[in-house]
Amino acid sequence: MSTAIRGVVHERTIARIVRLPPLTQGFAGPGHLMAPVIAGGDFEHTDPFIMLADDHLDLGERSLGGAHPHAGFETVTLLLDGELYDRDEGGRIRTGEVQWMTAGGGIIHGENVAARGHVRLLQLWLTLPRRDRWTTPDFQNLGEDVIPIRREDGVTVRVYSGESGGYRALTRNHVPTTIIEAVMAPGTHVTQSLPVSYNGFVFPIDGEVTVGDSSIGVGDVGWLDRPATGESSRVTLRSGSGGARLVLYAGEPQGDAIVSHGPFIGDSRDDIVRLYTQFRSGQFPRMSDLARARKGTA
């Protein structure tokens, strides 16, 4: 890697644009449509992000799915619209809120989740550093009352992780990560600072946004360039004539290869075999038990 040049701020641009495929039926059956924002399988280029699903739910009274395990990574669930409810695992997650679950050494969750009305969510699989791969499972519910909101002329930025314009999220991160959602009036702009080492992308939810000379809209994923020099960097986001709503994800690449199989991430195939053995023998804790224990000590 090239040596950083002190005092140089790199203006990030869009290096590549990935077009989402059409929505298809998701794992929850009728009423669940999804599209892969990050499909997985190209971790060398998407590090620290493993996968990202854009889920659209309209399930009526049906639950989202049964209990299932995860291990070796974190999930970050951002509610774009609607509400998820789980009376076992920590109550409600509403529009503009986030649940950050650290699967770590292994956890079972999703036992009693329901979508209230029409729900749209983004669920990210975020790697863990090798040293933290098997950390104790945990979760954070980031509600409306703790999410910092940055306001500029015609722009509202919700800071889910990291920092934006002097506003810092309370998220406990294993991997340094910035996640913001920006709602922009027509013809406005906002600048987001990022460490020069971060890998990241812009995902428009509504409208059109321009970064440098590239314009991206709904259905596009705009991956940022990866500067080799500079002490810091920034992204300048400009909305089109109809305004824009977008989510920006950026994080510190970990540089460690991973092995993915089903709901598990490991450093080797042996890890995957071990995780399946532990899960089948009942060694994974349940997230609902963690939530109840937390309430009991609150």
**CATH number of 9-297, picked from 1.10.1840.10, 1.10.3720.10, 2.60.120.10, 2.170.130.10:** 2.60.120.10
Task: Name the band, by pLDDT with cuts 50, 70 and 90, for residue 190.
Answer: very high
Q: Which amino acid is at 131?
A: R
Identify which of 109, 138, 124, 137 has the alpha carbon closest to the alpha carbon of residue 177.
Answer: 124
State the Cα–Cα distance between residues 58 and 204, nearest whole angstrom.
22
For residue 47, pLDDT beyond 50: yes
For residue 3, pLDDT beyond 50: no
pTM: 0.93
Domain positions in the chain: 9-297
Residues facing 273 on adjacent strands: none
Based on the number of CB atoms within 10 Å of its own CB, is 244 exposed (0-12), middle (13-18) or buried (19 or more)? buried
For residue 225, pLDDT beyond 50: yes
